[in-house]
Amino acid sequence: MQGDVREHLAALEEAGARAVRVRHPEDLARVDGIVLPGGESTTIVKLLDAFELFEPLRTAIEGGLPVYGSCAGMILLARRLLDAAEGQRTLGELDVTVRRNAFGRQIDSFETDLEVEGVTGGPFHAVFIRAPWVEEAGPGVQVLATVGAGPAAGRIVAVRERDVVATSFHPEIAGDVRLHRKFVQIVSERD
């Protein structure tokens, strides 16, 4: 709908997938997994409504369609939001409480290296842009990464619950496709 769609398509292709845009409800039947790029979560919800995709997307994810949400995509997946816009809806398929624009003004946008569970080959260079964090994760949610140092040390920035993956940061602009590869692997390991 919005955000780094082109960059995610390129990263998915580099990670070995065949990547297509999803714009209409019928496109959902043609994919084995879906990425929700970052952008502005309230705008994305408006666009999902305008394209009549909100409910079909929610149903597809509920039915087991693997999904990876980055930044605003993480917000969209969250079951509970803090600092949401008034009346802001989410797909609610990930059992976490997500705080929007969590990093505050002085580190609104920043970059740091993270250890990400299941991603081998050294730390991941993570780019955060007015990013959310996971304030609280439900019992079935695996924490994949937390911030290592600085004012946000210990904050949860990558999670997985079943085949739902979310990161606060934007791997598609860092030129490192290891997270996309991990998601492609999750998708291809399904029957």
Interacting positions 11-50 with ligand GLN (CB under 6 A):
38-41
Can you tell me which of 71, 96, 114, 116 binds ligand GLN, judged by CB under 6 A? 71
Q: How far is the CB of 165 from ligand GLN (least distance, A)?
A: 15
Stretch that binds ligand GLN, among 70-78, 139-147, 149-157, 180-188 (CB under 6 A): 70-78
Nearer to ligand GLN, 2 or 123 (CB): 2
Determine the Cα–Cα distance for residues 162 and 94; give it in Å rounded to an integer: 9
Q: How far is the CB of 38 from ligand GLN (least distance, A)?
A: 3
Name the active-site residue from 8, 93, 161, 170: 170
Question: 172 an active-site residue?
Answer: yes
Nearer to ligand GLN, 129 or 143 (CB): 129
Beta bridge partners of 127: 111
- Other C-beta atoms closer than 10 Å to the C-beta of 168 total 31
Number of residues located near ligand GLN, criterion CB under 6 A = 11
Question: 71 an active-site residue?
Answer: yes
Please tell me whether residue 80 binds ligand GLN under the rule CB under 6 A.
no
Interface positions with ligand GLN (CB under 6 A): 38-41, 71-72, 75, 100-101, 129-130
The catalytic residues are 71, 170, 172
